[in-house]
Structure 1
Amino acid sequence: MALRNNDINHAQTRFLLALWALGGNDVKKGDLMPFATRGDEKSSDFQPIIDKLDAKDVIKITNNKFSITTSGLNLLHQCLQNQAFEYDGNVGARTVNALLRWIRAQGQPSLAMNGNGRATEPISSYEEFTEVASEIFDQLNRDYNLDNFVPIYRIRRHIGERVSRSQFNDWMLEMQANDMFEFLEGSVEDSAPDKIEDSITTKFGKLRCYAKRLKR
């Protein structure tokens, strides 16, 4: 099998867009490739592209998980600006939504972004935090098919340094008190200590690793 229309540049753009849309950091290959491929394409068809992007520091691969670099974001921007890039045939909703999110992000020139294309401006109020946390919850739930059972460490890492660790904990617990989220027990993937640390411990010393949406 080969790439669709044997178009390497098109496949490369789709790969980078999929990686960015899935969060851009520590994305599993099993989640990434179904998003990037079209039609009869196989994951193996993309290996030369992946090798090239890795060698040029456009992406980082660690333990078979993919992250996009600042160079990768710049390349993706250039590729999407290229008038030769267009889709033939039907395009799935997930791809369309990814393109819409990219367009909206580019439409906010004053918004500070980090190397993964995420906002870095500080969150200054609980109200703003609820909007951001809810949006991230919805994105993770949708992109990873998590069935309303989203790891708290993923929400924390997406928000990053926009709030302090203690402020994140306080505002998340306030969202639970306001019946926006319910926090649940459970084991994170690989029982990794860093993922457990990035979960939440309640005021009663109970570890909670997952968030469930109660109301919007």
Structure 2
Amino acid sequence: MASKNTSVKAREAQTQTRLLLALWDLGGTKQEIKKGELTKRVVQKGKKAADYQGIFENLEKKGAIAVSKKGYSLVSPKGLDVLGEGLKSSDFKFEGTIVGTWAANALLKWISQVNGTVVSAATSVNGVKSTVKSYQDFEKVTLRVYDRLNSDYNLNHLVPIYRIRREIGDRVSRSDFKKWLLEMQANDILQLQGGSVEDSAPDKIEDSITTELDGLRCYAKLLKV
């Protein structure tokens, strides 16, 4: 019985990932996608749209998608995070012997636009992470990461500082990250803004920056758009 339940959960997870991938590929982060347009891609042979209702409801509860009477949209960044985790799962696979053209193209698009940019920005020869050793290097890397996050997550030029820090990772020390980010603000490249991170999570606040004069700064906004 346990094996059967595990199999059912694995299939549901695969269907969930296929659904999110289709919604992302159709432009669901930027606009609402009509229900018929989405179900046309994800509903498999021998099934009907109503069979997927539970999965839609589960994704809405997670905050990954938004549902209206007319259609669906992918909520950033939660929806993209859930999709990314699903695609990375060792259990993810396409059922049947034929993979639809849309699915293959969507996967290639995801790899090139999301994963590919991270790899090229964070690695050098032989996949070894290159250390950011100067302000000039930091500025280039930060702007590249900013642009990718802003585009992929549809952030409207209000990018969480904790996400920038985590993307750059241990390529730069925490003290240099703060110092050089403030220098980018002093050079009128970025404006660091207050507010609060989603969920007010302590780890996200810690990965933002705090100054004596301005207090907690949670977001970066590009001034030279």
TM range (shorter): 0.5 to 0.7
The answer to whether the Cα contact below 8 Å between 2:21 and 2:83 also exists between their aligned partners in 1 is: no
CA RMSD of aligned residues (A): 4.6
User: Per the alignment, in what secondary structure is the counterpart of residue 211 of structure 1?
Assistant: strand
Shift of 1:99: 3.2
SS in 2 for 1:159: helix
Matches within 5 A, 1:94-133: 97-101=109-113, 102=115, 105=119, 110-112=126-128, 120-133=129-142
CA distances 1:19-43 after superposition (whole Å, capped 9, x unpaired):
xxxxxxxxxxx98xx9xxx941258
Partner of 2:126, secondary structure, is coil
Larger Rg: 2
Is it true that 1:161 corresponds to 2:161 in the alignment? Answer: no
Task: Give the percent of matched residue pairs that are identical in Structure 1 and Structure 2.
Answer: 43
Structure-2 change in CA distance of 1:206 and 1:44 (3 Å): same
User: Does residue 136 of structure 1 match 2:150?
Assistant: no
1:175 pairs, out of 160, 184, 187, with 184
Q: SS state of the match for residue 101, structure 2?
A: coil
Contact persistence 2:20–2:83 (CA under 8 A): no
Q: Distance in 1 between matches of 2:53 and 2:139?
A: 37
| Amino acid across the alignment from 1:171 | W
Q: 2:16 and 2:90 mapped to 1: Cα distance?
A: 10
| Aligned CA distance change for structure 1 residues 188 and 13 (closer, same or farther; 3 Å) | closer
- Work out whether residues 16 and 68 of structure 1, in 8 Å CA contact, stay in contact via their aligned partners in 2: no
**Between structures 1 and 2, the one with greater helix share:** 2
Q: Secondary structure at the match of 1:207?
A: strand
Instruction: State the match for 1:148 in structure 2.
Output: 157
Q: Which runs of 5+ in 1 are unaligned?
A: 1-7, 19-29, 48-64, 113-119
1:163 and 1:67 map into 2 onto residues whose CA distance is 28
User: In the TM superposition, what are the counterparts of 1:22-101 in structure 2 within 5 Å?
Assistant: 39-40=38-39, 41=42, 66=82, 87-88=101-102, 97-101=109-113
Give the Cα–Cα distance (whole angstroms) in 2 for the partners of residues 108 and 73 of structure 1. Answer: 22
1:134-167 deviations in whole A, cap 9, x for unaligned? 1111111112211111111111111111111100
Residue identity matched to 1:87 = T
* Aligned: 1:187 with 2:196: yes
What is the DSSP-based 3-state SS (H/G/I as helix, E as strand, rest coil) of the residue aligned with 2:130? coil
Question: What SS does the aligned partner of 1:201 have?
Answer: strand
> Could you tell me how far apart the structure 2 residues matched to 1:43 and 1:91 are?
26
Number of residue pairs aligned between Structure 1 and Structure 2: 165
Normalized against structure 2, the TM-score is what? 0.54
Structure 2: which amino acid aligns with 1:122?
A: T
- Report what 2:219 is aligned to: 210
Q: CA deviation at 1:121?
A: 2.5
Cα offset, 1:194, TM superposition: 1.6
CA–CA distance in structure 1, aligned partners of residues 116 and 99 of structure 2: 15
Q: Deviations over 1:83-119 (max 9, x none)?
A: x867249957xx665332456748965232xxxxxxx
